[in-house]
């Protein structure tokens, strides 16, 4: 009962940082002073004049003084609270709560006041995994930056890349939809995929929208910014590079496979992953975001075709080596057919070190809510933490947590994953603070 009361939206008005309590207190002080002034006047009138008998009942004199005081104070608090709420709702309606169904006004103000001062989180990846992560993180902070792969060349994205020569819009579209604060209908429209129509079949409306916006604004970067503004996106979405790149892989049989969708369809063990051209320039804002971040989250997503292509951009790799942020790798909860068949958590980490280099990851989040079998049609298996003490984990903290979606055990649960990441950072921050405090105490003791 008490827990439900604490979660009530009305109590958010009293949260630190909302800039409400001080003015509410000043208002109450003014009301109290006004009440005292009125009381002095009424007392003087009561002693000076003889009032009709009806005032005995109107002034509740049949109730003890403390009872009358409690009744009037309760009525005063209710009326003041209601009037303040309705006044703010009327004044701020056009600025904060612009559309019906957006939820309580206090939630909108909470999002702007509190979440804007949250952790600086950079999420690196692509595909469904990255959009799932962003849906969870946006409930904890507005300081979000998604760095998205642009190596996708399959489906609608591949066709648009060939026809218009733009960088891949598909994964960026999914991130925009995940971080959008627009009406649900607009988000659904952005994700809508045409099922028929000459030239339209298979295309996503969001992909077409980004292509059209690129033509209107003159470049793809401006198109992302305008689309984000239209859908009221919380956070920033950046391509890892603005250059047109192609992902290639060399298999253990020394066969070179060109193209992201060909790598997945070809399957088999991958020996090496590389970009063409190899020395592409990173988006400068992406580099800056990594260097300024509190925490950098790599994954989840298709290991070889969504996560690693970002890390192959030299400047992003250098920024990850340089940043003081906590670097977290989120391992997939299930293997992906054609890419990571039979992989355990250690195999995912080993693949990262083989292709990207060692020492880039501080900790790895692995799902520990594992079932033995997944539906056969998925061609997938759970990813296990086979041996937490394996040499591959040396210097890397393994965090086991329940982060899987119960309704689809092939995916992460956004809320569970975000809570684990934020808790991990809070725990590390507290541990560092404690260590610094102990070191300071030891130094003072030596003095």
The DSSP result for 42-79, as a single string, is HHHHHHHSPPPTTHHHHTTTTS-HHHHHHHHHHHHHHH
Say if residues 176 and 190 touch (Cβ distance below 8 Å): yes
Extended beta strands in 37-166, E state: 121-125, 144-148
Residue 276: give the domain boundaries: 114-442
Across 139-282, the runs of DSSP E, i.e. the strands, are: 144-148, 236-239, 246-251, 256-258, 270-276
User: What does the pLDDT look like over 375-433, one tens digit per residue?
Assistant: 777 788 899 987 777 777 888 999 999 999 988 888 999 999 999 999 998 877 555 54
Q: If you average pLDDT over residues 135-152, what whole number do you get? A: 91
> pLDDT tens digits for 208-234?
999 999 999 999 999 999 988 888 888
- Per-residue confidence band for 109, with pLDDT thresholds at 50, 70 and 90: low
**Residue 128 confidence (pLDDT) above 70:** yes
Task: Note the pTM of the prediction, 2 decimals.
Answer: 0.76
Domain count, the chain: 2
Q: Residue 275's pLDDT band (boundaries 50, 70, 90)?
A: very high
Q: Could you say which of 40, 75, 110 is where a domain stops?
A: 110
Same-domain check for residues 79 and 224:
no
- Distance, C-alpha 361 to centroid of its chain: 20
What backbone torsions phi and psi does residue 283 show, to the nearest 5 degrees? -65, 125
- Say whether both 326 and 402 belong to one domain: yes
**Chosen domain end from 65, 80, 110:** 110
CA–CA separation, 175 vs 188, rounded Å? 13
Same domain, residue pair 22 and 42: yes
Q: Which of 124, 162, 178 is nearest to 313 (CA)?
A: 124
Q: So what's the pLDDT on residue 1?
A: 45
Whether residues 38 and 164 share a domain: the answer is no
| 37 and 55 together in one domain | yes
């Amino acid at each position: 009962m008490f827990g439900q009361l604490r979660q009530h939206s009305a109590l958010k008005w009293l949260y630190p940082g909302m800039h409400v309590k001080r003015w509410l207190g000043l208002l109450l002080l003014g009301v109290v002073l006004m009440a005292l002034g009125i009381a002095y006047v009424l007392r003087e009138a009561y002693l000076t004049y003889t009032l009709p008998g009806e005032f005995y009942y109107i002034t509740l004199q049949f109730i003890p003084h403390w009872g009358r005081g409690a009744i009037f104070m309760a009525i005063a608090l209710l009326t003041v609270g209601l009037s303040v709420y309705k006044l703010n709702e009327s004044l701020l309606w056009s600025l904060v709560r612009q559309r019906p169904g957006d939820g309580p006004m206090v939630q909108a103000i909470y999002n702007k006041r509190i979440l804007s001062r949250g952790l600086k989180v950079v999420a690196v990846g692509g595909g469904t995994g990255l959009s799932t992560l962003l849906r969870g993180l946006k409930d904890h902070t507005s300081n979000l930056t998604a760095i998205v792969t642009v190596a996708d060349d399959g489906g609608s994205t591949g066709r648009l890349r060939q026809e218009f020569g733009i960088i891949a819009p598909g994964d960026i579209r999914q991130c925009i939809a995940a971080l959008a604060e627009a009406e649900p209908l607009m988000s659904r429209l952005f994700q809508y995929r045409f099922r028929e129509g000459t030239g339209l079949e298979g295309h996503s409306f969001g992909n077409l929208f980004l292509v059209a916006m690129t033509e209107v604004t003159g470049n793809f970067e401006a198109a992302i910014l305008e689309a984000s503004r239209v859908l009221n996106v919380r956070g920033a979405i950046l391509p890892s590079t603005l250059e047109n790149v192609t992902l290639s892989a060399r298999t253990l049989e020394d066969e070179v496979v060109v193209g992201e969708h060909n790598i997945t369809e070809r399957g088999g063990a991958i020996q090496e992953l590389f970009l063409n051209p190899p020395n592409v320039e990173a988006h400068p804002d992406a580099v800056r975001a990594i260097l300024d971040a509190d925490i950098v989250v790599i994954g989840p997503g298709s290991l070889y075709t969504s996560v690693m292509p970002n890390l192959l951009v030299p400047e992003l790799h250098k920024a990850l080596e340089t940043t003081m942020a906590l670097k977290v790798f989120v391992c997939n909860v299930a293997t992906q057919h054609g890419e990571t068949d039979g992989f355990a958590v250690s195999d995912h980490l080993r693949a990262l070190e083989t292709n990207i280099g060692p020492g880039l990851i501080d900790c790895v989040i692995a799902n520990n809510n594992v079932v033995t079998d997944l539906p056969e049609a998925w061609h997938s298996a759970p990813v296990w933490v086979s041996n937490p003490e394996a040499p591959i984990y040396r210097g890397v903290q393994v965090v086991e947590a329940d982060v899987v979606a119960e309704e689809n055990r092939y995916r992460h649960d956004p809320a569970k994953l975000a809570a684990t990441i934020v808790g991990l950072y809070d725990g590390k921050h507290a541990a560092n603070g404690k260590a610094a405090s102990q070191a300071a105490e030891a130094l003072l003791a030596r003095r």
